[in-house]
Amino acid sequence: MDWKDNPQQAEWRATVRQFIKDRLPEGVSGTDPFADHEPTPEMESWRKSLAEVGWIAPHWPKEYGGAGLTTIEQFILSEEFAESDAPRLGGISTMMLGPTIIAIGNEDQKREHLPPILRGETVWCQGYSEPGSGSDLASLQSRAVRDGDDFVLNGQKIWTSGAHRADWMFCLARTDPDAPKHRGITYFLIDMKTPGITVRPLVNLNNFHHFNEVFFEDVRVPARNVVGEVNRGWYVGATTLDFERSSIGGAVGAQKALDRAVKYLNANKAKLSASDYSAIRHQWADRAIETSVARHLAYRIASMQAAGQIPNSEASIAKMFASELSQRVARTNVRMLGMFGQLTDSRAPFNGESAIEYCQTLSSTIAGGTSEIQRNIIATRGLGLPRG
């Protein structure tokens, strides 16, 4: 397969590359599309630049403030942003919630929520996982009971990224406990300032606070904040999860980490024995091959989307491979550094980031669907194998 740009794609890539070169403020960076970016003057300048061309939500239709880009144009933009370490703003607000409201929400919901997202005035979080409902999300137990013009919500969510900074949450809750578990679920938009909501921090291995657990105690949610039909929220939630990217950012990130490590290895070759150098060199060769595979899997998904196809098992393959690759890259890096790979001190190689990255990647094969779930999807939907 020839993945080279055609003339129109090459021109678009050059346009994106030049825009980043001209408009990205010095010192502004961030490849994680879901990260919380501090509202510094430089970041606000970058936001204004992106808003001018509709690139805060490039995949949204123009009538809703997006750029209306094609699938391939979005892919190229994402690839160039990742290559340049340029922040994509909006996070799950633009990537997941906005498209769901555009596709399924009513006009009042579009008018209320889409403009503030583009202006950066509202931050959203996702209320899906519960202590007993992670991979088996349909078993969720948070309960919402109709009471006049409101629903009264009780329950708990966990691993809620950014809930401590969020203004709103899109949330799944059970509204019909007697229905089969994939039915009787409703999709709500919840103001996080509503009385009865408690957010408690969950600190990860790196002593970093990004996750939270959220408790709901008699929280009143207006019925007008239901997206789609009552008791059919599972399908709305599935639509939200369908708005995924091709994982090109992960492939580019792996390549950049690989390039940095190989540069360090070659610069410090004299400090290693011949056998140690040969062993780690061969491990990085394996990572280089795997990184190329990850990029090609991302290209495959983009090409399918451009052809009007819906990646299913293909998306699971790319997600599983990229997340497991991130762990292998981090592990190889720590092995290369030896005892220094355990340090988080800024005086250590790579400013002590290697140990942090090693711990951070532990969650990559859990978030967004575990590798076990992805393998089930690949086996049943991709290979047509029977369910066990």
Residues known to be catalytic: 244
> What are the two backbone dihedrals, phi and then psi, of residue 376, each rounded to the nearest 5 degrees?
-65, -45
Q: In this structure, are residues 251 and 322 in contact, taking their beta carbons and an 8 Å threshold?
A: yes
Q: Return the structure tokens found at 359.
A: 């711990």
Looking at the DSSP bridge assignments, the partners of residue 132 are: none
* Closest to 117 in 3D by CA, of 190, 59, 167: 167
Q: Return the structure tokens found at 8.
A: 């129109």
Q: What is the 3-state secondary structure (H, E, C) of the chain?
A: CCCCCCHHHHHHHHHHHHHHHHHCCCCCCCCCCCCCCCCCHHHHHHHHHHHHHCCCCCCCCHHHCCCCCCHHHHHHHHHHHHHHCCCCCCCHHHHHHHHHHHHHCCHHHHHHHHHHHHCCCCCEEEECCECCECCCHHHCCCEEEEECCEEEEEEEECCCCCCCCCCEEEEEEECCCCCCCCCCEEEEEEECCCCCEEEEEEECCCCCEEEEEEEEEEEEEEHHHECCCCCEHHHHHHHHHHCCCCCHHHHHHHHHHHHHHHHHHHHCHHHCCHHHHHHHHHHHHHHHHHHHHHHHHHHHHHHHHHCCCCCCHHHHHHHHHHHHHHHHHHHHHHHHHHHHHHCCCCCCHHHHHHHHHHHHHHHCCCCCCCHHHHHHHHHHHHCCCCCC
Place of tokens 């809930």: 163
CA distance 300 to 289: 17
